[in-house]
Structures are given as structure tokens and as C-alpha cells.
């Protein structure tokens, strides 16, 4: 299988996405050392990835310099939903703020997968082309495809996410889930790659250390297969052979 970025998908051309793997990364405001670890993993493997950005960091220039990477946006509407936002913060301003950091973005996945018809129209109005907010787990056994909605935005459903896999507590076996004629989109997070998370109890127990990478590294999982091994397994099982 080939590794591709989200913006390479064309709903009108099945060859643009069939027999392919799409790795996406939600940065989630992680420490730069944590993000560096994730970039190192993907660059050593020399595979494509789409990075959903939450914040400014000098590392965005490193990501932009890799022709196999692309940047999308990962806006957070949770403060609005919780009633914690103060004027003049609006859904539009949240999107505009992150687009100032990543003006070239063509793809969006909201934090917590937040979406509604108004947000989808705001995404489209700002030049975004791909919405990645539909999670349909592989257990549903559906054949996923990209599709256009009423405003022309392209929906990219995805079927696997590292933190949700921790909750499922099943073996990681992508060969059983990947289908040549289905859309195969995976979602990873740098913090889980760094911790090699296998159980969300580890993530929650180390929250106070998430911005202290030296201490956090000492708490990383080394006893069981976790997010880091899952990513490497996905890559090594499906990277095209010369």
C-alpha cells in the first residue's frame, strides 16, 4: 500500500485513495520535545502524513520542509461549548486564529471531532477543502469512501484512533482491517507516541508531566505494545517494498 496525505484524495478518482494508508497526527498542544519525537518517527520511516496543528511552534517549519508532510488545522471549540468563552471569541474567530498560524491548510479536524452544519460552512468559506471529523470505527466493517457534502466540502471519514484503541483493549492488527477498496485513515497523537500509551490510565496519571519531557520519558510504557509500536507496525507491514 502507498502512504499519502489527505489533500491527495479526490472523491471522483478512486485511484487517489484506494490501496492507500493515510496517517494523520493531531498535535494537541504538545511540548516541542514530544512533537520532535513524533516527527522523528515519521521521518525515519520516510512516509507521508497530515499534521493537524493546534498552536504555533518553530517545528512547523521543519514539518513544512518535508515534501511528504502537509499541515491542516485542529481548532478547539470546547470553550465555546462549555460556555467558558468570552467575547469576542466565536466559532469563526477560533478558525481564523488557527488559520493565521497555518494559512496554507486545506484539511481540518476539530478537537473532540466537533462539527455541525454551521461549522462546515465556516470551514468551506475559509478555503478549507477536507473535513476529517467523521469517526466510524473499523468494528462497523463498513467500506469507507470520501464524499462531497452540500457546500462542496469533502468528507474524509476515519476508522482508527490511538486513544480509542486504548479503550477498546483489542490487539492491533491493521492487516485485518485494511481494505484495498476502502478509505484507510489512522489518527495518532504525539503524546501517545511519546508515552507509548497502551492504557489511558497512563496518560491520565502523567498529565502533570506532559510539559516536562525528561520526567515524562521516565514514565513511558516499555512493558507492553503501545501507540509507538502500533504506528511502526502499521508502517512496516504496509510500506511498499522496492
pLDDT at 165: 97
Sequence-distant (6+) residues with CB within 8 A of 87 are: none
Note the helical H segments in 73-189.
78-81, 91-101, 117-125, 162-168, 174-177
pLDDT at 129: 99
The residue behind cell 507521508 is 48
pLDDT at 239: 74
Architecture per CATH, domain 2-238, reads as Alpha-Beta Barrel (3.20)
pLDDT at 242: 55
pTM reported for the whole predicted model: 0.97
Q: For residue 117, give the DSSP letter.
A: H
Q: Name the nearest CA neighbour of 173 among 217, 230, 219, 118.
A: 230
Provide block-wise average pLDDT over 10 residues at a time, the chain (242 residues): 97 96 99 99 98 99 99 98 94 98 99 98 99 96 96 98 95 87 97 98 98 98 97 88 57
pLDDT at 93: 98
Amino acid at each position: 500500500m502507498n502512504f499519502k496525505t489527505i489533500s491527495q484524495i479526490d472523491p471522483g478518482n478512486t485511484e487517489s485513495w484506494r490501496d492507500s494508508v493515510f496517517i494523520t497526527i493531531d498535535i494537541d498542544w504538545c511540548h516541542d520535545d514530544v512533537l520532535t519525537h513524533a516527527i522523528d518517527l515519521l521521518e525515519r520511516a520516510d512516509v507521508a502524513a497530515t499534521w493537524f496543528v493546534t498552536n504555533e511552534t518553530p517545528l512547523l517549519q521543519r514539518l513544512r520542509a518535508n515534501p511528504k508532510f502537509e499541515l491542516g488545522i485542529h481548532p478547539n471549540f470546547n470553550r465555546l461549548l462549555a460556555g467558558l468563552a468570552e467575547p469576542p471569541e466565536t466559532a469563526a474567530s477560533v478558525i481564523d486564529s488557527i488559520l493565521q498560524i497555518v494559512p496554507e491548510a486545506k484539511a481540518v479536524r476539530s478537537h473532540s471531532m466537533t462539527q455541525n452544519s454551521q461549522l462546515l460552512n465556516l470551514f468551506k468559506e475559509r478555503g478549507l477543502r477536507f473535513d476529517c471529523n467523521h469517526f466510524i470505527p473499523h468494528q462497523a466493517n463498513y467500506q469507507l469512501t470520501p464524499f462531497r457534502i452540500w457546500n462542496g466540502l469533502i468528507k474524509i471519514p476515519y476508522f482508527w484512533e490511538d486513544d480509542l484503541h486504548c479503550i477498546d483493549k483489542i490487539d492491533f492488527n491493521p492487516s485485518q482491517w485494511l481494505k484495498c477498496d476502502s478509505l484507510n485513515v489512522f489518527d495518532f497523537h504525539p503524546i501517545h507516541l511519546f508515552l507509548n500509551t497502551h492504557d489511558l490510565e497512563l496518560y491520565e496519571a502523567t498529565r502533570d508531566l506532559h510539559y516536562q519531557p525528561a520526567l515524562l520519558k521516565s514514565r513511558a510504557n516499555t512493558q507492553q505494545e503501545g501507540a509507538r509500536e502500533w504506528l511502526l507496525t502499521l508502517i512496516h507491514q504496509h510500506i511498499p517494498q522496492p
